[in-house]
Amino acid sequence: MILEIRNLTKLYGATTAARDVSLSLEKGEFFCLLGPSGCGKSTILRMIAGFERPDSGQILLNGVPITDLPPYRRDVNTVFQNYALFPNMNVHRNISYGLRIKGIAQMELRTRVEEAIAMVGLGGLEERMPAQLSGGQQQRVALARALVNRPAVLLLDEPMSALDKKIAEQTRTELVELQKRIGITFVFVTHNQTEALAMAHRVAVMKAGVIEQCDEPRGIYERPATRFVAEFIGSMNFFDGTVVATDPDGCTLHVTGDTSVRLQKPSDVTAGDDVVFMIRPERLKMSLVGPQEYENSINGIIRESVYMGETTVYRIELRPGNTVTVHVQNYLPGMTEGFYEPGEEVHLMWSKTSGGVIRA
C-alpha cells in the first residue's frame, strides 16, 4: 500500500468537502476520484498534496504519516488544472525547477530533464516560454515538471478539462500508456465519467464529501451501489418495484404495477422489499415482435425519437407518467427514418441477466 487515507474529514463552514473518507492505493495504481463539481474530490487531492489541512483523519505515504507535513516535504507532485507553469521560465527551467530546488548535480539534472521531455514528447520546445505553447503542450510541460521528480504518487487535478475534445481523447491514451510504463501511482481527479472509466484501474465516485462507491470501472457501471452513482455514470432507467420472490439464481420483481421482471443475478434483497429496478438504455431492445422466453418484456408507446447519428434515442411511455429511454444502434440506414414512428406501440425487451436492483 503506497497511499492510505484514513477517516479524512474537512469542513468549510457549513459545506462538507470530505466526510470520513478512507482509501487505500496500491503501488502502480491508476486511481480516479470522480464526482460533480463541489463534491470534494479536489479538496481530497489538495489534502494529499498538503495545500489543505484535514480537520481530522490521517494520510500515510508508504506507511508514514504525512498529514502535518508542508507540501515541500511530501514525496508527491501535482499537475494543476490550469497547469500553473512559471511564466518567467522557459520549458526547460520549468521542468528542472524541482531538481534545481533539491540541488541535483548538473549532469544528472540534464539527463533527467531530457528524459522527462522525451517521455512527454516535447523535444525541441525546451527554450519556449509557457505563453508560446498550446494548451496541450502546456499540459505536457506540467506533467513532465511533476514526473521528473519521480514522486511516489502523482496527483492530477482535472488535467484535461482545459483541452479540446480531440486532444483530450488523444492525451487520455498517452497518459494511460505513460502511467503503465513508469509505474508511478496516479490519483486523477475528474468530473468526466468517460475519462474515469477509460483510464482508471479503480474509480471512487464522490457526492457531497462522501465516497458513494469505490470499484473498478466495470463494477461502477454495471453494479452501481446507489441511485446517485447510477445516474451520474452514463444514463439509467429506474422502475419502482417490489420483490416477489427470491431464489439462489436471483429474484422476481413486480415493476410499474404488475409487470413481472426476472433478474438472474445475485442480490441481497428479500421477498417483500421495496426496490428500484435499474436498466441502462442501451440494454433495452425495441421491437415490434414479441419477446423470447429468456427475455423480460414490457410494452409501451413511442412518444419521442431523437436522431443522434450513431444511435437514435427513443422515449417510450409505458403508462401515463412513466417513461423510459432506449438507445437503438443505427446499424441499418433505413432504421434512422420512418421505421419507428411516435405513437406506435412497441415491445421493450431485455435479457434476464441485465439490470440491477437497489433498495428504494
Residues 127-146 that bind other proteins (CB under 8 A): 129-133, 135, 138, 145-146
DSSP letter at 223 equals S
Residue 86 makes contact with other proteins by CB under 8 A: yes
For the bound state, the minimum distance from the C-beta of residue 104 to other proteins, rounded and expressed in Å, comes to 11
Which C-beta is closer to other proteins: that of 12 or that of 86? 86
Which C-beta is closer to other proteins: that of 8 or that of 104? 104
For the bound state, the minimum distance from the C-beta of residue 154 to other proteins, rounded and expressed in Å, comes to 11
CB atoms within 10 A of CB 10: 22
- Cα–Cα distance, 69 to 80 (Å, whole number): 20
DSSP 104-134: --HHHHHHHHHHHHHHTT-TT-TT--GGGS-
Backbone angles phi, psi at 144, to 5 degrees: -65, -40
Residue 50 makes contact with other proteins by CB under 8 A: yes
Which C-beta is closer to other proteins: that of 165 or that of 320? 165
For the bound state, the minimum distance from the C-beta of residue 346 to other proteins, rounded and expressed in Å, comes to 47
For other proteins, which stretch binds (CB under 8 A), given 60-68, 93-101, 176-184, 266-274?
A: 93-101
DSSP letter at 286 equals E
Residue 42 makes contact with other proteins by CB under 8 A: no
Q: Tally the C-alpha atoms within 13 A of residue 168's C-alpha that lie toward its C-beta.
A: 14
- Cα–Cα distance, 134 to 163 (Å, whole number): 9
For the bound state, the minimum distance from the C-beta of residue 113 to other proteins, rounded and expressed in Å, comes to 13
Please state the separation of Cα 144 from the chain's center in Å: 24
Residue 67 makes contact with other proteins by CB under 8 A: no
For the bound state, the minimum distance from the C-beta of residue 90 to other proteins, rounded and expressed in Å, comes to 10
For the bound state, the minimum distance from the C-beta of residue 18 to other proteins, rounded and expressed in Å, comes to 19
Residue in this structure with the C-alpha cell 446517485, named with its chain if needed: 228
Residue 82 makes contact with other proteins by CB under 8 A: yes
DSSP letter at 292 equals P
* x/- map, 148-177, other proteins, by CB under 8 A: -x------------x---------------
Q: Are 202 and 29 in contact (CB under 8 A)?
A: yes
For the bound state, the minimum distance from the C-beta of residue 114 to other proteins, rounded and expressed in Å, comes to 18
Contacts of 109 (CB under 8 A, 6+ apart): 96, 99, 100
Please state the separation of Cα 196 from the chain's center in Å: 3
User: Which of 63, 72, 124, 320 is the binder for other proteins (CB under 8 A)?
Assistant: 72
Q: Are 120 and 103 in contact (CB under 8 A)?
A: no
Instruction: Say how many Å lie between the first and final Cα of the chain, rounded.
Output: 36
Q: Applying CB under 8 A, which residues contact other proteins?
A: 49-51, 70-72, 76-78, 80, 82-88, 97-98, 101-102, 129-133, 135, 138, 145-146, 149, 162
